[in-house]
Structure 1
Amino acid sequence: MFDVDVYLHKLGHTGSREPSLALLNELQKRHLTAIPFDNALNADAERGFDVLLEVEIDDDAVFKAVVEGGRGGVCYELNGLFRRLLTELGFDVRILAAAVIQVNGAYGPELEHIFNCVELGGERYLVDVGLAGPSYLEPLRLTDEVQEQYGCQYRLVEEDGYHVLQRRAKGGEWSASYRFKDQYRRISDWRELVPDIAEFPLEQVLIGTRIHSRAFDNGQMVLIGKRYLRVVDGVEEIKVLTSPSAFKQVVRQILTPDA
């Protein structure tokens, strides 16, 4: 059963539970550090876009598997659980959806990615613990100002009616992560998009590719296929893991935070 005490223990939080920006920042980062993104159960290419429609989760079952059982999860599982936790703690949480940038530079289908928005103290914050990465480790204020976290910069730019989230590592150029409309969503919205999603070219998204990622105190590890990205204080290092032993070591390091 979903249990706030067990969840917070998993995240290592022992302080105040009063809704605040400090708590929100801490919980998002702790979540990304403690619970990895892992699409191993959802990377079957034969299932096609079915994996994009399974956004309505059984909180208790996913809680048992992820928080108690120790496995990772994907966006609708991780952000769904986190949305429940924040709601239980008294935060005002809404649902947002995004199209993620693909390897060919195009955006994926609408509502491909589900994440959260928290309204707090007259501001709105993007809250996301379910993006493979590289991603923002703490919530981002919904503003056009440049925001910096752990050596990386983030900004939101307007483009064709969308907010485009862009990221820049140290010494790098701005690049898009995903785009979204400033429109709160309902879980039922995903089922209404079945025809649109079915028509989207499957080869343009990363379905069928294993993706694992996890944050640490000042950065993040992201493994897409055999391409390994490690970010430390905003500095990126990219390797292609051709050695089976090196590949297994990185997977183990990402999926077992206490190893």
Structure 2
Amino acid sequence: MDVAAYLSRIGASQPAAPTSASLTALHRAHVRSVPFEDYDVHTGVAISLDPAALERKIVRRRRGGYCYELNGLFGLLLRELGFAVTFVAAFSLDDDGTRGPEGDHLRLLVDAVDGSWIVDVGNGARWPEPVPRRPGVHGPVQVRRDGDVWWTAERRGNGEWERGWAWTAQPRVLADFTERNRYQQYDPCSDFVGRRLAAIATPTGRISLVNGVFAELADGQRTEREVAPDEEWALLADRFGIVLDRQWAERVPQLAGC
């Protein structure tokens, strides 16, 4: 991996040591520089989890990606910088204990020299920084644990907690996510097949573009508006840094029963 090029891509400097402070700075820089996006799904470009392919896409071509790509490559960068990183296969977890497919999401557990963290730069630009890996309320994120199952919840604008991803600490490698990566790209029941999206963090919140609706969250205030296809193309380049070389296809409606 070209560490210097990756750090330049996110506008971050080489940390002197793998500390919690440097991890936080890297996380903040990443979510403000690299968009969470799935336009390859809609332009017919296969998504590879090969590390070299991820580096070409995210660092060289300055594109974004979804969780397997963003957390996958960021985890490899953190290892190069001296952090201890564990890839975990996250899943949805209903209030009644029903689990979704394992590996629907890739999340990172990161140990710095002075703390343990949950890291997620592939979560729709919703986490501006890492979250302490211990049960409790940490700002807008709540961490829970029940035996070997951990999960997080996020505080929404109305003050309510919305359950997020769950996981166990079993270590994974990128290749373990190959099957779910294929599902996310091609299955009509996949949220990514049915939803064209981009999101990136800003100093005051977050912007997103979902199926032609541009939304901006700034200082707790949300606005949104529909945009035409030609404006969507321009917004992708101007606000998200996503420059496409082919037009996207019409989104596939989800099948009944998905």
Q: Give the TM-score band, short-chain normalised.
A: 0.7 to 0.9
Match of 2:84 among 77, 83, 92: 92
Q: Does 1:209 align with 2:190?
A: no
Equivalent positions of 1:39-78 (< 5 A) are 39-43=38-42, 56-57=49-50, 59-78=51-70
Alpha carbons 1:125, 1:142 under 8 Å: kept: yes
- Structure 1 vs Structure 2 CA RMSD: 3.3
Equivalents in 2 of 1:64, 1:186: separation in Å?
19
Match of 1:239 among 204, 224, 230: 224
Q: Which residue of 2 is the match for residue 8 of structure 1?
A: 7
Q: TM-score, normalised by structure 1?
A: 0.76
Alpha carbons 2:42, 2:196 under 8 Å: kept: yes
For structure 1, list consecutive stretches of 5 or more residues without a partner in the other structure: none
Equivalents in 1 of 2:241, 2:177: separation in Å?
32
Alpha carbons 2:135, 2:143 under 8 Å: kept: yes
Amino acid at match of 1:165: T
Alpha carbons 2:20, 2:114 under 8 Å: kept: no
| Paired residues, number | 235
Cα shift at 1:11: 1.8
Q: Which residue of 2 is the match for residue 182 of structure 1?
A: 169
Alpha carbons 1:156, 1:166 under 8 Å: kept: yes
Select between 220-229 and 61-70 the one with higher mean Cα deviation. 220-229
Q: Does 1:143 align with 2:134?
A: yes
Q: Which residue of 1 is the match for residue 105 of structure 2?
A: 113
SS at match of 1:27: helix
Q: TM-score, normalised by structure 2?
A: 0.76
Change (3 A) 1:100 1:224: farther
The one-character-per-residue Cα deviations of 1:122-168 (angstroms, maximum 9, x if unpaired) are 642111111224x21111111221112xxxx1102346963231111
Cα shift at 1:10: 1.8
The one-character-per-residue Cα deviations of 1:207-242 (angstroms, maximum 9, x if unpaired) are 332110111123111223234443323x15153515
For structure 2, list consecutive stretches of 5 or more residues without a partner in the other structure: 243-258
Runs of 4+ in 1 over 6 A off after TM superposition: none
SS at match of 1:237: strand
Cα shift at 1:67: 1.0
